[in-house]
Amino acid sequence: MKAAVWTKYGNPEVIQVKEISKPVPKDHEILVQVKAASVSKADCELLKLDFPFFISFPMRLFVGLVKPKRIKVLGQEISGIVETVGKEVTRFKPGDEVMASTGFYQGGHAEYICLSERDEGCLIASKPGNTSFEEAACVATGAIEAYCFLKQAELKKGQKVMIIGAGGSFGTYAVQLAKYFGTEVTAVDIGVKEQMLRSLGADIFFDFTKLDYTALDDRYDAVFDIVCVEKYSGIRHIFKENAVYLAGNPKLNHLLRSSKKRKEGKPSVFPHSGDHTPDDLEFIRDMIEQNNLKVQIDTVFKLNDIIDAFQLVLSGNKQGNIAVKCF
């Protein structure tokens, strides 16, 4: 089968599309013919091991000190058609159209992948009937992360939410979900994304290249900071009393302020989205099927052009999600 093989740590040019062995499912696994996969910021961070040292060092120890060994193919989200199932599989059968997060071992940028029904990090659900494979391939990580982060904020109708880095794969879902929960949404990103974000429901938009949003007089019940460029101390003054700060790409200063429980009057800091469950993915699937959630696609690439997909993500100019046709 054809796959985009991760040969070194570095820029997208280290990826090589070539033939590798087709996987064989174990008793508890399904073999999926991958119709499409996403390329996300998280894929790019893993490609380059672009993490704080306290994360990148243990990752390198696990994946491979000098070059990737345990993980050879990236890709966290896929959609496709079940080709065969192991004898212990109960939820799926050949021919089922599915979408999934691939779990810790990645592997989505290939023509086939085996996914486990047992692995809690690997979420699988039937594909929404009103989406293409390319759209469905961009759901099971980005939408789930956004939803699980926002659940921690316990949003109420009429509250004010700021989403920093709103124009990417997590952010476009976060804007829509925050609106679904009845809040006023302020989106922060580069100016070219304003029209797209307003179309998804953003009430207010700030171009961070032209306006210092941290100097505003407005106060927010929740801030979902997907990029975490500013230190926590630099933006805490924009929180209302009892506000919630959701750190989507946490640095050490965010982790040190992690809130195990809420303290009266003080902001609560959540640097992790928490556990993801099959019920979360089913909720998102139902939202899509009921037309309450849209998958925002910027560009669809072919597998042979996956380097271009990575480069677009790294440019920071994508609007929403990037998909790759794998078969």
**Distance of alpha carbon 276 from alpha carbon 141, whole angstroms:** 9
Task: Give the pLDDT score at 74.
Answer: 98
Per-residue confidence (pLDDT) for residue 250, from 0 to 100: 84
Q: Where are the beta strands (DSSP E) in the chain?
A: 2-6, 15-19, 29-39, 77-85, 97-101, 112-116, 124-126, 160-164, 184-189, 204-207, 220-225, 239-247, 268-270, 297-302, 321-325
Buried b (16+ CB within 10 A) or exposed e, 146-179: bbbbbbbbebeeebbbbbbbbbbbbbbbbbbbbb
d(CA 102, CA 25): 14
Architecture of the CATH domain 2-139+295-325: Alpha-Beta Complex (3.90)
Tens digits of residue pLDDT in 56-112: 889 999 999 999 999 999 999 999 999 999 999 999 999 999 999 998 889 999 999
Q: What integer pLDDT is reported at residue 120 of this predicted model?
A: 76
**What's 126's DSSP letter?**
E
Instruction: Give the whole-angstrom CA distance, residue 119 versus residue 104.
Output: 10
At the fourth CATH level, the homologous superfamily of domain 142-270 is NAD(P)-binding Rossmann-like Domain (3.40.50.720)
Q: What is the C-alpha separation between 164 and 186, in angstroms, rounded? A: 8
* pLDDT attached to residue 50: 85
Distance CA 326, CA 273 (A): 29
Residue 277 CB neighbours (<10 A) = 13
Question: 81 exposed, middle or buried (CB, 10 Å; 0-12, 13-18, 19+)?
Answer: middle
Q: Which positions of the chain have pLDDT values less than 50?
A: none
pTM over 0.85: yes
Q: Where are the domains of the chain?
A: 2-139+295-325, 142-270
**Residue count (the chain):** 327
